[in-house]
Amino acid sequence: MKSPHLITLLPLVLANILLIATSSSSSSPNQNYDDFLECLTDQFQRSNSATDIIYTPQNATYASLLLAQNLRPAATAPERPELIITPRQESEIQAAIHCSKKLNLPIRAKSGGHDFEGLSYTSQTPFVVVDMRNFRSVTISGDGKTAWVQTGATIGQLYHTLALRSRTLAFPAGVCPTVGIGGHFSGGGFGMMSRKFALAADHIVDARIVNADGKIVDRSNMGEDLFWAIRGGGGTSFGIVLEFKVTLVTVPEIVTVFNVTRRLEDNATELVHRWQFVADKIDDELLIRIFLHPDISPTTGNRTVAASFTALFLGRARDLLHIMQREFPELGLTEQDCLEMSWIDSELFFSELWDQPLDVLLDRVPRGSTYFKGKSDYVSTPFPLEALRGIWRFIIEEDGSELQFSPYGGAFNAFSEAETPFPHRRGNIFMIEYIVGWANLNQSEAHLDWLRRLYDYMESYVTKSPRAAYVNYRDLDIGRNNIEGETSYEQASVWGLRYFNNNFRRLVRVKTEVDPSNFFRNEQSIPPMSS
């Protein structure tokens, strides 16, 4: 990543802000960026902060600060942030909140830029971004049992720090190393060890957060309701989390992975069908995901569907083969399919960085940014064979498509629905992530139409009342919101019940208590009851 070009001359910043304020048709008296900058500068002077953490669209590296995995939200939202603030000190975040409230200018916090709908870096109305990239320390306790992780760190950085400490020290989070901790942890955080150790959010034991009053609180004085809400209730509805304290886990020195692909002509339909009866009940040390995507048959040359069975086993290959032969012999796993390695090497394997040095985990820039749309579902009853055949017809039709089936069971069954805001626990066999990507913006409507048709087709086969969804796979198709993110309780309940089930009502009560004016908001944030 290139070093940022820092603004050191305040007059230049003021000139840029004045230019934006006078040229933007959406500007209004209560959104005066000159006033905001003046307020911010005054606050910075009081805390001896520099002004070189403030960026405008005229800065050479402004665009690089908005780099994100998904190009679609920024291409379709009419507003870019007029200011990006990259604080180095907690007082600078407090100053941004103070000025935002004073001037009625919405503020959004950005961690890694992987939000499916870009809610951390795009908006329908003028706004300011607080980019947490400089808050990225990971501090492991002396006994190796816990760590404080700042929310601007990435999953890759967390894993890298753990690997430098020990080959057996680990944490159960996702496999994409450039995902930011702030969003990932606060929405749940599924990963390849989740059947053994549950979610990232389930390991949070403390946190420090800047609340709507600009005060920094931790678990001892934020109240247990707020602490409950930020462990799976979605990012930035309740404040700006500075850091999480998490419990770490211990894994064997050697783990085993495999990635076995079967196509329709290789009996993939029957294998995927059988997987549904095995995946959530098999040994908790083993997690087998399925990745489904279109392919060309190497034998016939025809379009087909490939099903890649990708797994992590917390143990040696010989033990894995014994389990698979007993529980899922239909897959035909062989010793040659299995790779033994350290846990940190398995993370490089799953993130397709197997041939890269460990330091690649420190890269913050998303790889392969493209236009894409995602959705999610939960499955509590196995699909019949005819349902799978219907899915194949959709996949064969769409070149940029992929479906991921991620199994539950195991540690998920140890938590009640209400223990954290993340409700998708017992009774769920697996979660579906739908993804379709494309290269050119003008192709968007055709691909979106395909995904929505598939999603409609799936309605008969997934959970109902409500049809559940994963908040970390945000989907603005669910419900309707007005352009300012001022969503009423009735509007929000449409998507809120899907993401959080019965926990949504408690989240609203917490929001009403800690942020009754709805200062922290976006198009799918938790509303206070009075909204």
Over the stretch 108-148, which tens digit does the pLDDT of each residue have? 999 999 999 999 999 888 899 999 999 999 999 999 999 99
| Closest listed residue to residue 31, CA positions, set 123, 110, 128 | 128
Predicted pLDDT at 486: 57
Strand partners, 435: 374, 402
Q: How many C-beta atoms lie closer than 10 Å to residue 316's C-beta?
A: 15
Q: Is the pLDDT of residue 452 over 90?
A: yes
pLDDT tens track for 472-504: 999 999 986 544 455 688 889 999 999 999 999
Helix (H/G/I), strand (E/B), else coil: 240: strand
Is residue 27's pLDDT more than 50? no
Q: How far apart (Å, rounded) are the C-alpha atoms in residues 216 and 234?
A: 19
- The single-letter code of the amino acid at 304 is T
Instruction: Give the helix ranges, DSSP H, for 295-418.
Output: 317-327, 343-350, 385-397
Mean pLDDT of 459-475: 97
Mean pLDDT of the chain: 91
* Backbone φ, ψ for residue 372 (5° rounding): -155, 165
Q: Output 15 or 36, whichever has higher pLDDT.
A: 36
pLDDT over threshold 50, residue 14: no
Q: Which of 371, 473, 489, 499 is catalytic?
A: 473
Q: Is the predicted pLDDT of residue 48 greater than 80, yes or no?
A: no
Q: At the top level of CATH, which class does the domain 255-342+366-461 belong to? A: alpha beta
Cα dist from 124 to 81, 266, 291, 471, 483, whole Å: 10, 48, 34, 20, 5
The larger pLDDT score, comparing residue 391 to residue 354, is at 391
Enumerate residues 6+ apart whose C-beta is below 8 A from 170.
Answer: 159, 162, 193, 248, 249, 250, 251, 343, 344
Residues 6+ apart with CB under 8 A from 490: none
Residues 375-411 as b/e (b if ≥16 CB within 10 A, e otherwise) read bbbbbbebbeeebbebbbebbbebebbbbbbbbbbbb
Mean pLDDT, range 201-224, rounded to an integer: 97
SS3 content of the chain, % helix, strand, coil (to 5): 35, 20, 45
Is 255-342+366-461 the same fold as 138-250? no
The per-residue pLDDT for range 339-354, each reduced to its tens digit, is 999 999 999 999 999 9
Confidence band (pLDDT; 50, 70, 90) for 8? Answer: very low
Residue 54: CA count within 13 A, CB half-sphere = 29
The single-letter code of the amino acid at 58 is Q
Q: Residue 165 is inside which H or E element, if any?
A: helix 155-165
**Which CATH topology does 138-250 take?**
3.30.465
Which of these ranges, 19-23, 169-173, 486-490, 507-511, has the smallest mean pLDDT? 19-23
Is residue 518's pLDDT more than 60? yes
- Which pLDDT tens digit goes with each residue over 284-302? 999 999 999 999 999 899 9
Q: Is 473 noted as a catalytic residue in this protein?
A: yes
**What count of Cα atoms within 13 Å lies in the side-chain half-sphere of residue 528?**
15
Residue 467 near residue 494 (C-beta atoms within 8 A): no
Q: What is the pLDDT of residues 325-343, one digit of tens each?
A: 999 999 999 999 999 999 9
Answer whether CATH 3.40.1790.10 is correct for domain 10-131. no
Residue in 463, 465, 438, 433 with CA at minimum distance from that of residue 449? 438
Least confident of 58-72, 263-277, 282-296: 58-72
**What's phi and psi for 299, nearest 5 deg?**
-95, -40
**Between residues 526 and 60, which one has the greater pLDDT?**
526
* pLDDT cut 70: percent of the chain above it: 92
Q: Where are the domains of the chain?
A: 10-131, 138-250, 255-342+366-461
